Amino acid sequence: MKDFLWKVLLKSGLSPETTYLPKAVHPCHVRAPDMSIPAALAEARMVIFGAVDELRERIGLDPQTIDILITANSIFCPTPSLASMVVNRYKLRKDIQAYHLGGMGCANGTIGVNLVRDMLKVREVAIGVNLVRDMLKAHPNSRLLFVCTEVVSYCAYPGNDKARMVANAIFRMGATAVLFSNRPSDGCVAKYVLDHAVRVHAAASDTAFNSMSWSPDPEGINGIFLSKCIVEEAGKTIEDVLRAITPRVMTWAQYGQAALHEGRRRLLGAPLPPYRPDYTRTRIDHFLVHAGGYAVLKGLQEGLGLPSAAMIPSFAALREYGNTSSSTTWYALGYTEACEGVKKGQRVFQLGVGGGMKGGANVWRALRDVDGSGHAAWAHLRGRRITEADLPRGIDKDVCRHPRAVQLMAMATAFPMGPGGPGGVGAGPEGALLDNPLEAPVEIDYADEH
């Protein structure tokens, strides 16, 4: 089994020297994984508080100015909730609206923005078992803190089912804290405006619904189950997402090409495939794709028809931090800002997909030049861009490059967990604003935990 796990790790696109595991499941620190609730809570506190603290320090955020809090963690859902844990730590106001999103998988960091947008337009109040939607007013002058993570110590799998062992090799520790606002006064400091947001839910398909789950193996040991068809189902979901978002990012020239394509198909009855624009020529300047694993990224790259250069931020996030679930696209944004830079007016395309299957896309427009050199998650690069030659596995040329593979092999033998760097704390990216601050949410800043 250790040979199987090592092969998965070598093909995963993760560096064996940089990604992070909590001590509770790190083979260098323990002989057997500790998947207890206390261990999971310790990890949650470390990554969540680390990201929020970095965000507070960067922008001077006063916790008392936060009106709405949303936390997202798919599998580990303790009572009190992770949202309540944040409220307690930072002593947030008594009228805070606090919500926790569970069971929504890796797409949560992207499709959660859809909820953020709606929350800053329509206020929802939970009373007992009822959810009462106050439709009488928008919810102006509000700030929303969105915290994404996945507590991997609780999800570690010590069994022998290969379909569940794969998650041990690709999932890693991380978190992101993002600040949104619809305060007019925050417009002068916001980094991006949310131009478009779409989401797709494919759970009506039994195959899609069963492609990923948290479930027991035949011996009753819980683990993250990844079916062989998960990449295919993710691709189908992304196709639906692209079908919804593409018309919103096409240029006028591409609209003309699409019209000619459709006219040719109808007049000639030619069996032509649907029109697919060249995404490098749309209004998108930067791409942030969910770093679920090497195969997932390659599949999404082929679906979008993107060159390797456009995929570097996502592959860099995978190399340095692994699959951090709902945080992956935010880590990619941190790299883009820190090493490539985002100019005023440029658009950033955020694409996520996860269990369910669910998928979503957001288009952010930069309100100013963004210099992310202060991102702690990428400070070690000192602004140096990662190239394809730096990756553990090539993008266009599929070659594995693990210089210490033989030496690190021993680290994976303690139990079925892939090797990772020592647990740590850190930070990353920043923020955004919608067109009408009275009707749409603003992302002010964000931070990544590393």
| Residue at 263 is within a domain | no
* Residue whose tokens read 């919804």: 244
pLDDT of residue 63: 94
Q: Cα dihedral angle (247, 253, 256, 257), rounded to 10 degrees? A: -90
| Nearest alpha-carbon partner for 290 in 261, 251, 317 | 317
pLDDT of residue 272: 76
Residue 98 to residue 104: CA distance in whole angstroms: 17
Active-site position among 26, 106, 168, 450: 106
| Residue at 276 is within a domain | no
Q: Which tokens in the block code for residue 123?
A: 């206020």
| Residue at 47 is within a domain | yes
Q: Are the C-beta atoms of residues 294 and 304 closer than 8 Å to each other?
A: no
Please state whether beta strands 143-149 and 175-181 pair in parallel, antiparallel, or not at all (unpaired). antiparallel
Strands (E) located in 291-355: 347-354
| Residue at 419 is within a domain | yes
Collapsing DSSP to helix, strand or coil, 147 comes out as strand
Is 400 annotated in the active site? Answer: no
| Residue at 278 is within a domain | no
Mean pLDDT by 10 residues, the chain (450 residues): 76 84 86 89 94 91 90 91 95 91 78 72 39 38 88 89 87 90 85 88 89 90 88 87 90 88 79 82 92 87 88 93 90 92 93 86 91 81 87 72 43 33 32 31 55
Active-site position among 77, 160, 196, 201: 201
pLDDT of residue 266: 81
Q: Are the C-beta atoms of residues 300 and 289 closer than 8 Å to each other?
A: yes
Q: Which domain holds residue 200?
A: 2-249+284-449
Per-residue b or e along 181-202, where b marks 16 or more CB atoms closer than 10 Å to that residue's CB: bbbeebbebbbbbbbbbbbbbb
| Residue at 350 is within a domain | yes
Domain of 137: which CATH number?
3.40.47.10
Q: Where are the alpha helices (DSSP H) in 13-81?
A: 37-59
Number of domains in the chain: 1
Please state at what angle helix 328-335 crosses helix 308-321, rounded to 10 degrees: 120
Per-residue b or e along 81-119, where b marks 16 or more CB atoms closer than 10 Å to that residue's CB: bbbbbbbeebebeeebbbebbeebbbbbbbbbbbbbbeb
Rounded CA Rg of the chain: 21
| Residue at 272 is within a domain | no
Q: What share of the chain is helix, strand, coil (3-state, %, to 5)?
A: 40, 20, 40
| Nearest alpha-carbon partner for 11 in 398, 449, 408 | 398
Collapsing DSSP to helix, strand or coil, 301 comes out as helix
pLDDT of residue 409: 37
User: How big is the CA angle at 151 (ends 206 and 419), to the nearest 5 degrees?
Assistant: 100
Is 286 annotated in the active site? Answer: yes
| Nearest alpha-carbon partner for 443 in 131, 50, 148 | 148
Collapsing DSSP to helix, strand or coil, 208 comes out as helix
Please list the residues that pair with 323 across neighbouring strands.
Answer: 171
Please state at what angle helix 328-335 crosses helix 108-119, rounded to 10 degrees: 90
| Residue at 260 is within a domain | no
Active-site position among 26, 100, 139, 290: 290
For 428-441, give the DSSP string. Answer: --B----SSTTTS-
Is 106 annotated in the active site? Answer: yes
Active-site position among 286, 375, 402, 450: 286
